[in-house]
Amino acid sequence: MSYLKPAEFVTKMVDAGQDKALMSTRDTVIRAYMAGAILALAAAFAVTITVQTGNPLLGAVLFPVGFCMLYLLGFDLLTGVFTLVPLAWLDRRPGVNLRAMLRNWGLVFVGNFAGAFTVAVMMAIIVTMGFAVDPNEVGQKLGDIGESRTVGYAEYGASGMLTLFIRGVLCNWMVSTGVVAAMMSTSVSGKVIAMWMPIMLFFYMGFEHSIVNMFLFPSGLLLGGDFSIGDYLLWNEIPTVVGNLVGGLTFVGLTLYATHRRTAASKPVEEPVAV
């Protein structure tokens, strides 16, 4: 596993942010669509494992397979571009301005949602035999997740909203750490190992990931979960997106950029004083 020093992989982070900001609309949407779909499949996989084994840890251990697949294929998640693209703007890379950054975020959001929603519909068909029967155990679990993580927060008002936001912050702290960790290595095995650890952590801890939720909550609505589209947007998706932005950019992107690219001036060495 070839290891790159922080100064080297932070430069790669800025380069990646520039590439993503300047990517064509078609390529951005297609890559985001595929990322949302693959991550949704991984979430469905993890929920299925948890239901069938009764062991949520096993589902969390295996969930990162989806994240590793989409990263190695070069697809983009909103959580990743939240962290990388602003660095290219701060670094004053040619062509990267506020408009380009917001355009990238908007296109990736749309693509991620479309991909995740496509898988949500497909999984709803599978767990109901084409809507001919009631949802099976996995389908019932998907409905329960959507209800508990929308109405469940709403029951506590402002305290619930704060908890939801902090879970979003912690989620993208870990997910963006996974994105950056993959840049530390030049080998596939090294990238996979580095990504696996923080992704497993966020999933098992129940932190809120905006793209995973783009699958879980539409699935829950399709499968009879007792919550509304308004509940989903107000009491999950919107606060989660904001939390993901704050977590990834503050605790990963800016900290690494500030200390390994725009480093503070070294303290001068003082001459010894003669006694």
Structure tokens at 19: 């590439």
Domains and CATH numbers, the chain: 6-128+145-258 (1.20.1080.10)
**Cα distances (Å, whole numbers) of residue 135 to 14, 40, 52, 147, 220:** 45, 18, 15, 15, 10
Verdict on whether the full-model pTM lies above 0.75: yes
Interacting residues of 72 by C-beta distance below 8 A, sequence separation 6+: 188, 191, 192
Q: What is the pLDDT of residue 143?
A: 86
**Whole-number Å distance between alpha carbons of 195 and 269:** 39
- Measure Cα distances from 261 to 15, 181, 248, 253 in Å: 12, 17, 17, 11
Q: Write out the chain's pLDDT in tens, 275 residues.
A: 588 999 999 999 999 999 999 999 999 999 999 999 999 999 999 999 999 999 999 999 999 999 999 999 999 999 999 999 999 999 999 999 999 999 999 999 999 999 999 999 999 999 999 999 999 999 999 989 988 999 999 999 999 999 999 999 999 999 999 999 999 999 999 999 999 999 999 999 999 999 999 999 999 999 988 999 999 999 999 999 999 999 999 999 999 999 999 876 566 655 555 55
Instruction: Note the pLDDT of residue 269.
Output: 52
Q: Which residue has the tokens 């950056």?
A: 180
Q: 198 near 163, Cβ under 8 Å?
A: no
Cα–Cα distance, 62 to 126 (Å, whole number): 21
DSSP string covering 36-92, please? HHHHHHHHHHHHHHHHHHS-HHHHHHHTHHHHHHHHHTT---HHHHHHHHHHHHHTT
Phi, psi of 183 (to 5 degrees): -80, -10
What single DSSP character describes residue 130?
T
**Structural tokens at position 242:** 């904001």
pLDDT value for 72: 97
Could you identify the residue written with the tokens 């992704």?
Answer: 199
